[in-house]
């Protein structure tokens, strides 16, 4: 049976193309060998369950593994201690072979699982587990997946408190050698899931978990190793290194996004009328086509992210500032909005600043903001939509004409606005103008290395053509000349001969329009508004 790229459920090496996890598993085992209590906290569909299942296999020769999944429990299992003890005992019995459990412990767990004795409380369960740890020939490792799936209740918090208490006293009372909790919410951040009227539940300790520093994102080399396994099966002739780098550039190694792009290329692009086979699909053009589909489709990851924006309005404000205002926001883990945005996978830390986690998320967020009802009522959006066909000639994008029309409409509509308006909203309106023109055919993203209050570079991919557009605030001729030189150097990076520049000029006597400038061997099309 041929392997497939998998984006639903656990990845299994016999059935799915996967990256080599051995280095990550070895690093996690070092934490287990050291007897640490830690949480694997990553955003949705980041490979947590796949990692835990692979880790259980990796550790089983050295440890007794209790691998549980709180998603298997219902809300009724958390109604009171007796119900929870019964459900927890059932999961333990299902997790291990009978011969591993001492007979007396096994019998107690069976009794607990029947939920008949109202005296079966957490304290009795943990005493039983402690007795098992004392008798076991191998150290016992407790692993709980989706640990945050039922956190908004007192029973769960009492369970965490008992677990922490036993672990802290493990030199006095035998307990699990290592504890691994996996979920979106770190136990240090579980209070985010507790409603404000239930603050009394926050008396459980949150400071036990060791830092988990193992990087679970894929590197370009990881992606290439997966593509090489695919190439051995299909012999497409792809440049595995170049394709892996392209996928990494757009995803920053987010596991779901990597696998989804590969799956689209393999199963959809290769069967499309335009590409027709795997050889054509596994090219730069084919991968960009897959990315275009990904950016427009509904999937569980994007739905989860959008729901978080609706649940936490402060997240929306932070992301708006990052995307449209060009603000440099210092990465402060103590800031609740920054902490939540990181936890949910929206942003990451880069050189001390908060940045959007990857190009896919960034573009998806731009698209979401730019196609809201308010945006679509905007005159710039309507103008671009009306003139859309003018900008496409024989399947190619006329970027110079786009700039000319943008200058015309922007100055007609907003030429008398204040400097503050231009600085905050100018770039947003250019994206608002650009979006309906390339929508459905091209992709765009913001180059994070050049995004700030003074300068932002947009990269547009359209039907195999690439455009670099620098948007900046006019700060005088000398500053503009430096900007031209910077853009020229940047064009070298993309191997392009022509670049584009939009300057927002606050001077009353500014010369509005579009002109062509030569910088060395580069042609720059400059627009001033």
Mean pLDDT over each residue of the chain, to the nearest integer = 87
Three-state DSSP at 256 gives: helix
Residues 470 and 427 in one domain: yes
pLDDT in the model for residue 11 = 94
Give dist(CA 455, CA 475) in Å, integer.
11
Count how many domains the chain has. Answer: 4
Our separate counts of H helices and E strands in the chain read 20, 14
CB 322 within 8 A of CB 356: yes
With cut-offs at 50, 70 and 90, classify the pLDDT of residue 136.
Answer: very high
Residues 350 and 393 in one domain: no
Indicate the residue among 250, 277, 296 that finishes a domain: 296
pLDDT per residue as tens digits for the range 345-378: 899 988 888 889 999 999 999 888 887 776 778 8
pLDDT in the model for residue 105 = 95
Q: Is the pLDDT of residue 204 over 50?
A: no
Residue 35: inside a domain, yes or no? yes
pLDDT per residue as tens digits for the range 31-67: 999 999 998 988 889 999 999 999 999 999 999 999 9
Residues 247 and 306 in one domain: no
Question: Strand order of the sheet with strand 178-183?
Answer: 37-41, 178-183, 140-145, 64-69
Residue 8: inside a domain, yes or no? no
pLDDT per residue as tens digits for the range 479-520: 567 677 778 888 888 889 999 999 888 777 778 899 998 988
Indicate the residue among 265, 296, 327 that finishes a domain: 296
Residues 292 and 304 in one domain: no
pLDDT in the model for residue 118 = 82
Choose between 159 and 257: higher pLDDT. 257
DSSP-derived letter for residue 190 is G
pLDDT per residue as tens digits for the range 6-36: 999 899 999 999 999 999 999 999 999 999 9
Q: Is the pLDDT of residue 194 over 60?
A: no
Residues 389 and 504 in one domain: yes
Residues 177 and 280 in one domain: no
Residues 167 and 92 in one domain: yes
Residues 229 and 281 in one domain: yes
Residues 355 and 376 in one domain: no
CB 513 within 8 A of CB 527: yes
With cut-offs at 50, 70 and 90, classify the pLDDT of residue 160.
Answer: confident
Residues 419 and 481 in one domain: yes
Q: What is the mean pLDDT of residues 73-97?
A: 90
pLDDT in the model for residue 197 = 43
Domain with 309 in it: 300-360
Residues 52 and 199 in one domain: yes
If we measure between CA atoms, which residue out of 270, 237, 446, 450 comes closest to residue 360? 446
With cut-offs at 50, 70 and 90, classify the pLDDT of residue 150.
Answer: low
pLDDT per residue as tens digits for the range 369-382: 887 776 778 888 88
Residues 115 and 185 in one domain: yes
Report percent pLDDT > 70 for the chain: 90
């Amino acid at each position: 049976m041929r392997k497939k790229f998998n984006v639903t459920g656990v990845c299994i090496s016999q059935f799915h193309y996967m990256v080599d996890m051995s280095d990550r598993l070895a690093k996690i085992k070092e934490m287990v060998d050291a007897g640490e209590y830690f949480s694997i906290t990553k955003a949705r569909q980041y490979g947590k369950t796949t990692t835990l299942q692979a880790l259980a296999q990796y550790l089983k020769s050295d440890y007794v593994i209790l691998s549980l999944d709180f998603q298997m429990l219902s809300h009724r299992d958390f109604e009171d201690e007796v119900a929870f003890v019964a459900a927890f005992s059932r999961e333990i019995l299902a997790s291990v072979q009978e011969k591993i459990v001492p007979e007396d412990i096994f019998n107690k767990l069976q009794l607990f699982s029947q939920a008949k004795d109202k005296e079966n409380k957490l304290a009795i369960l943990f005493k039983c587990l402690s007795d098992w740890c004392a008798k076991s020939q191998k150290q016992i490792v407790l692993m709980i997946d989706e640990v945050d799936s039922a956190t908004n209740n007192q029973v769960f918090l009492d369970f965490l408190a008992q677990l922490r208490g036993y672990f802290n006293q493990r030199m006095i009372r035998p307990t699990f050698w290592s504890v691994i909790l996996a979920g979106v919410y770190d136990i240090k951040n579980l209070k985010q899931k507790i409603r404000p009227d239930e603050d009394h539940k926050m008396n459980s300790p949150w400071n036990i978990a060791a830092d988990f520093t193992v990087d679970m994102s894929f590197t370009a080399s990881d992606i290439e190793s997966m593509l090489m396994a695919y190439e051995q099966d299909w012999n497409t002739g792809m440049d595995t290194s170049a394709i892996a780098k392209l996928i990494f550039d757009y995803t920053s190694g987010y596991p779901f996004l990597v696998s989804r792009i590969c799956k689209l290329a393999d199963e959809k692009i290769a069967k499309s009328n335009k590409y027709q086979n795997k050889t054509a699909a596994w090219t730069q053009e084919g991968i960009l086509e897959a990315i275009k589909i990904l950016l427009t489709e509904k999937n569980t990851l994007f739905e989860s992210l959008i729901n978080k924006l609706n649940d936490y309005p402060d997240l929306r404000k932070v992301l708006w500032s990052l995307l449209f205002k060009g603000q440099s926001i210092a990465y402060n883990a103590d800031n609740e909005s920054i902490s939540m945005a990181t936890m949910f996978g929206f942003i990451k830390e880069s050189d001390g600043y908060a940045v959007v986690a990857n190009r896919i998320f960034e573009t998806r967020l731009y698209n979401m903001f730019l196609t809201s009802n308010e945006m679509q009522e905007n005159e710039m959006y309507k103008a671009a939509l009306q003139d859309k066909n003018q900008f496409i000639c024989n399947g190619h994008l006329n970027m110079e004409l786009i700039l000319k029309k943008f200058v015309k409409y922007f100055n007609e509509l907003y030429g008398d606005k204040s400097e503050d308006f231009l600085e905050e909203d100018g770039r947003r309106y250019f994206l608002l103008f650009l979006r309906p023109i390339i929508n459905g055919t091209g992709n765009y993203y913001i180059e994070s290395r050049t995004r700030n209050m003074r300068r932002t570079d947009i990269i547009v991919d359209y039907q195999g053509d690439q455009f670099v557009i620098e948007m900046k605030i006019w700060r005088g001729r000398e500053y503009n000349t430096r900007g031209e030189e910077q853009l020229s150097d940047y064009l070298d990076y993309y191997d392009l001969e022509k670049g584009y520049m939009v300057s927002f000029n606050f001077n009353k006597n500014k010369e509005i329009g579009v002109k062509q400038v030569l910088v060395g061997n580069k042609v720059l099309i400059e627009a001033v508004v």
